[in-house]
Amino acid sequence: MSSSQRRVLLAKPRGYCAGVDRAVQAVETALDRFGPPVYVRRQIVHNTHVVSSLEKRGAIFVTEVDEVPPGAVVVFSAHGIAPEVRLDAERRGLRAIDATCPLVTKVHNEARRFAAKDYDILLVGHEGHEEVVGTAGEAPASVRLVDGAAGAADVEVRDPAKVVWLSQTTLSVDETTETVNALRERFPALLDPPSDDICYATQNRQAAVKVIAAQAELVIVVGSPNSSNSVRLVEVAKDYGAQASYLVDDAGEVEEHWLDGVTTVGVTSGASVPEELVVSVLAKLAGFGFGEVEEVEAVEEHMTFALPRELRASGARRPA
């Protein structure tokens, strides 16, 4: 096969979303303003390279706030936290910077509002995911986790006339629709959230993958294995026409034998992936004869978020 027959379709949008960009900037700004160390509860975003680069600058990642020295600076990750985590930080006298994505915060607000109205909240999401844990923590007595369409058959509610569904923001749009449809069959009075919970970036990246997967035998998704939205991109690629799709953390994981018999490769990246990792994958593909790159834009994206309010205050200094 001549190299002129080989091409790469590069999805757009891809990579960093506004929430991830804000969270990473929050840690970088905190390091600049207060100096290291700055503690971060859990991975600020689900990408091993981002975490490693911040560690080199002086960020220390911890599992819980009780690992943070009293009075130190701690950043809460983009995935959100349960209220009890914030209270624990206050008890320890920590200077907390909340980098929760505003779109996750919106879901938290919805959970509190519906719980106050005594609704049962059917939270569509993956058990154990940090975002789900944080959202459920806003109203633990009211939230019922529904993990996929199969889970819809088992969920129990107090009053079928007072139920609403919310969702993890990084799910597959199609999977969520399937789960909600299954829930509605059981609970015809099921309320929809006031606005779509699946985040704009998740939807846009999935829309772009659907376009390139229909034209590519192979789709490579750059992202870490614990990134829910990246894993979903692999699934969407397979569902929409790609014969194979692989998740890679970086170019070092790309295997040449994947390209046997392939003329068109699709490339995209999850919402927590720096663009330089995509550039490295493209360079490796070029070395295998796939040097022609065509960017395919499915949706225009212009969303930005301001830094957390704790970092917008002028004259902030590290606590004594």
Residue 69: pLDDT band by 50, 70, 90 thresholds?
very high
- State both tokens at 300: 């225009």
Task: Determine which one of 130, 131, 138, 175 is catalytic.
Answer: 131
Sheet holding 293-297, edge to edge: 244-248, 218-222, 264-269, 7-12, 293-297
Which residue pairs from 289-293 have beta carbons closer than 8 angstroms and sit at least 24 positions apart in sequence? 289/1, 289/3, 289/6, 289/259, 290/3, 290/6, 290/7, 290/8, 290/259, 290/265, 291/3, 291/6, 292/3, 292/4, 292/6, 292/7, 292/8, 293/7, 293/8, 293/10
Return the pLDDT at 320. 37
Q: 3-state SS string over 19-66?
A: HHHHHHHHHHHHHHHHCCCEEEECCCCCCHHHHHHHHHHCEEEECCHH
- What does the pLDDT look like over 81-115, one tens digit per residue? 999 999 999 999 999 999 999 999 999 999 999 99
- What does the pLDDT look like over 160-194, one tens digit per residue? 999 999 999 999 999 999 999 999 999 999 999 99
Return the pLDDT at 127. 95
130 part of the active site: no
- Which amino acid is residue 11, in one-letter code? A
Does residue 278 have a pLDDT over 50? yes
Question: What's this model's pTM, rounded to 2 decimal places?
Answer: 0.93
